[in-house]
Homo-oligomer: A and B are copies of this chain.
Amino acid sequence: MRKRIRVVTPITTVGLVNAKGYQAIAGPDTEISVVQIDRGPASIESEFDKMLAIPDTVFKIMEAEREGMDAVVINAMGDPGLHPARQVVSIPVVGPAEATMHIASMLGHRFSVVTILGSVAPMLGGLAKTYGVFDKLASARWIGIPVLELETDPKRLVESLVQESITAIKEDGAHVIVLGCTGMFGLVEAVQSGLAQQGYGEIPVLDPIPVAIRMAEALVDLRLTHSKLAYPPPSDKRIVGFDVPARK
């Protein structure tokens, strides 16, 4: 079944989105398109950044539905806009945090998320509470590298991820590792290889964007979308200061 999936990147920095990479990991019937928000933060590293990203992210999701997309993936680990978007569109909207936390729950009994900065850790804990998987979150660890420096020193990046992953396994009891930033796209093999070299070869490592894309594909193929009882549509009303797109 042919399907069109829109990846919405909720930051305004240009050059971080890897459209070719996303297409490469998608299924043969899937056409990936990408957009970025026009208004919002350069990167998301806090609840504050996230709130600035949410409105335009949701508008881009509404536009995606109007343009005939079959599903949307939000390209940031804080799942910005996930719940409000589900109220105003009928196509599946997939958040990488929600998707990876549930898949990780099926691959082991406890997982850790290894993210960029300590300022993100409380937000990940809060998401785990919202999604009902807090008991399985062994820890939220971080490497101390901001989003916009992730590409500066790839070797140090992978080494830091491997090191924090091993600490999560040994000290926090993690069975599964989730890469905690969608900007870490494509590093799974290097991290798994690093883990294997240190004797942790059988630990699943989840890359959030590929997981989210596969989840979106599966929902489309299964003709499933979110329940309107959980995400009831808002009534129309006057909005000041935002150019809200028409709903489909």
Contacts and interface: CB of A to CB of B under 8 A. Distances in A.
A224 interface: yes
A132 B135 CA distance: 8
Contact of A214 (B58, B218, B234): B218
Contacts of A222: 206-207, 210-211, 214
Contact of A242 (B39, B47, B106, B133): B39
6 contacts: A25-B221, A46-B84, A46-B232, A51-B55, A102-B102, A108-B230
Interface string A123-166: 00110011111011000000000100000000000000000000
B130 A130 contact: yes
Most B C-beta atoms less than 10 A away, residue of A102, A126, A224: A224
B119 A234 contact: yes
A239 interface: yes
A48 B27 CA distance: 32
B88 A98 contact: no
Interface string A36-68: 001111110111111110111010000000000
Interface in A193-244: 202-204, 206-207, 210-211, 214-215, 217-219, 221-235, 237-242, 244
Contacts of A84: 46-48, 50-51
A219 B131 CA distance: 21
Contacts of A50: 84
B146 A48 contact: no
A224 B107 contact: yes
Given A146-B235, A206-B224, A215-B218, A241 B56 contact: yes
A107 B241 contact: no
A71 to B, nearest CB: 13
Contact of A234 (B46, B126, B241): B46
A133 B102 CA distance: 10
A23 interface: no
A98 to B, nearest CB: 6
Nearest to A218: B214
Contact of A221 (B49, B214, B228): B214
